[in-house]
Amino acid sequence: MRYKWQNMKNPAWDYPEMYSTVTIHYDQIKVEANRGAGQVRLEVKTLRGEHYESIIKHGVVLREKDLKSGALSDLSDILSIYRKDFSSLPDTPILSLIGGNYGIMTEFMGTAERIVVHERTLLKRLLRLVRGILPALRQWLFGIKSSFGHYARSIRRADLADMVVIAAATYGAFTYNFDYLNAGFTLCIVAMLTGLIDWLIRKREPWLLKIYASIALASVAVYRGYFFQ
């Protein structure tokens, strides 16, 4: 396998230089280095969601951590599996800082390719990502619009009566002591009761737009009453 290591540099980072690549099994590995401090950070993120890091300074392991659980643990057996992947890093000085830990070679001997990623290139990649998201977002919004139209067309007279009852009960609860919390809880409870009436008495599914709108307005009222009243 011919590795392609992406190389990024930023003096503002704790580790001003970063290399990253993907293994043959699609696991992501990363090497971050602070040459001035002689410190290296190794990171592995597997396709299964496992996430590990090891911090090494001048060949001495300072810390090994399972980032998924947050626990400190011995990663010798785990990271040694990726020794060939890390050994393909096309940067001998950084390999020497790792100091041969986990069986990683201290000198670059392979044929890996180093791809320097500049900030402009990164910006172009982000723009391409945004352009790729836009069609999916447009389709999602169209689906919401279609669903809303379906819910609006399915309204019945009984639903209009329910909305009047919900509004009246909510207004009464609010004007009783001008409490948004009471109004929010009343709105939610009465909306659920009308939904139960639809199921048990009218023998049909509730009008979902009525339920969604009631829950949304009740949430706003509870939030307003809890934090600002």
pLDDT tens string 11-36: 888 999 999 999 988 899 999 999 99
Predicted confidence at residue 137, as pLDDT, reads 73
Predicted confidence at residue 57, as pLDDT, reads 95
Predicted confidence at residue 193, as pLDDT, reads 86
The structural domains of the chain, with segments of one domain joined by +, span: 4-120, 151-228
Predicted confidence at residue 144, as pLDDT, reads 58
In the β-sheet with 51-57, what is the strand arrangement from edge to edge?
A: 71-72, 60-66, 51-57, 39-45, 28-34, 17-22, 4-9, 113-116
Predicted confidence at residue 209, as pLDDT, reads 72
Q: Is the dihedral of CA 44, 57, 110, 116 positive or negative?
A: positive
CA-CA distance, 22 to 51, in Å (whole number)?
Answer: 14
Predicted confidence at residue 184, as pLDDT, reads 83
Predicted confidence at residue 162, as pLDDT, reads 80
Predicted confidence at residue 114, as pLDDT, reads 63
Residue ranges of E strands in 49-160: 51-57, 60-66, 71-72, 113-116
CA-CA distance, 139 to 117, in Å (whole number)?
Answer: 32
Give the residue among 118, 113, 160, 97 at the shortest CA–CA distance from 2: 113
CA-CA distance, 123 to 20, in Å (whole number)?
Answer: 18
Q: Phi, psi at residue 194, to the nearest 5°?
A: -65, -35
Q: Are 106 and 100 in contact (CB under 8 A)?
A: yes
Low-confidence ranges of the chain (pLDDT < 50): none
